[in-house]
Amino acid sequence: MHSDETTDIDILYSNLRHCTNNDNENVVLIKTGALNPIHRSHISNLVQTKQYLEQIHHFNVLGGYISPTHDDYVHGKLHDEQIPAKHRIEMCQKAIEEAKEQHWLRVDKAECMAHKFVRFSNVACSLQNFINDKLKLPRYVRVIYVSGLDLFNRCGGIRQLRKSNMGVAVVYRPGEHENLVKTNDPNLFYVPIDDEAKLAIQDVSSTKIRHNLKNNVPCDQLTYTSVLDYLKMIPISSQKRHS
């Protein structure tokens, strides 16, 4: 599924050259989702995870990929609110640039360019195989799937990923219980946040953005200016799946 056409690994080569400790384990992050549209927490969760894994677990995070889900799945979930993949890809790229994280983040197009919907676990596995086939490093590069606490709690497939040779990093989300994520599993990484910070977190979602836009409510705190500007350029008919 992954190929040179869908997945830019130049950032991995570049960041490998700048690694200061070659004894540390090399990992790559991936975040999948409808991204309909992408919002600030999608990127901030990846940044927080990178910082945590580097500072606490001493991993070399070579790069991270944001992977928009296939149109078939998004249409089945959102119907007329679906934004076609080509536009979701563009908005992700603009968000990465506006956030100034392009030195390590890229948009992975493999999932949304596939012939049909592919489960996130298979996407992560395919990315890991592709990266290792390309880099051919002495030590295997592990892919770590980044999930919000809400998705981790309700999706057993994500919890199963930690039993493979991959890993799962979970980021706190307001209103979600932490019973399942607090374990000693070496392949599960819960990005910590103190109780005071939890109270200050604003719950951001693509659903809220779509609702606000319909009702002419500002979304500047929810997503990026470049994303909002791009949404204004998409004809209404392009935001619906053509029959």
Q: What is the mean pLDDT of the chain?
A: 91
pLDDT reported for residue 81:
94
Once rounded to an integer, what is the mean pLDDT over residues 13-21? 89
The helix/strand/coil state of 83 is coil
Split into its structural domains, the chain has a count of: 1
pLDDT digits (tens, 9 = 90+) for 92-131: 999 999 999 999 999 999 999 999 999 999 999 999 999 9
Rg (C-alpha) for the chain, rounded Å, is 18
Inside any domain, residue 101: yes
Inside any domain, residue 5: no
Inside any domain, residue 187: yes
Once rounded to an integer, what is the mean pLDDT over residues 28-47? 96
> How do strand 188-191 and strand 60-68 relate by DSSP bridges?
unpaired
- Domain residue limits at 197: 10-239
Inside any domain, residue 159: yes
pLDDT digits (tens, 9 = 90+) for 180-207: 898 888 899 999 876 666 655 677 899 9
Q: What is the CATH number of the domain that holds 219?
A: 3.40.50.620
State the residue for tokens 């190929």: 3
Inside any domain, residue 2: no
Residue bearing the bigger pLDDT, 153 or 21: 153
Inside any domain, residue 38: yes
> How do strand 142-148 and strand 105-107 relate by DSSP bridges?
unpaired
The helix/strand/coil state of 90 is helix
pLDDT reported for residue 162:
77
Residue bearing the bigger pLDDT, 40 or 240: 40
18 vs 31: CA distance, rounded Å: 24
Inside any domain, residue 126: yes
Question: Phi/psi zone of residue 160: left (φ > 0), alpha (ψ -120 to 50 degrees), beta?
Answer: alpha
Once rounded to an integer, what is the mean pLDDT over residues 28-37? 97
Inside any domain, residue 4: no
pLDDT digits (tens, 9 = 90+) for 49-91: 999 999 999 999 999 999 999 999 999 999 999 999 999 999 9
pLDDT reported for residue 198:
62
Sign of CA pseudo-dihedral 94, 96, 102, 106: negative
Phi, psi for 117 (deg, rounded to 5): -60, 135
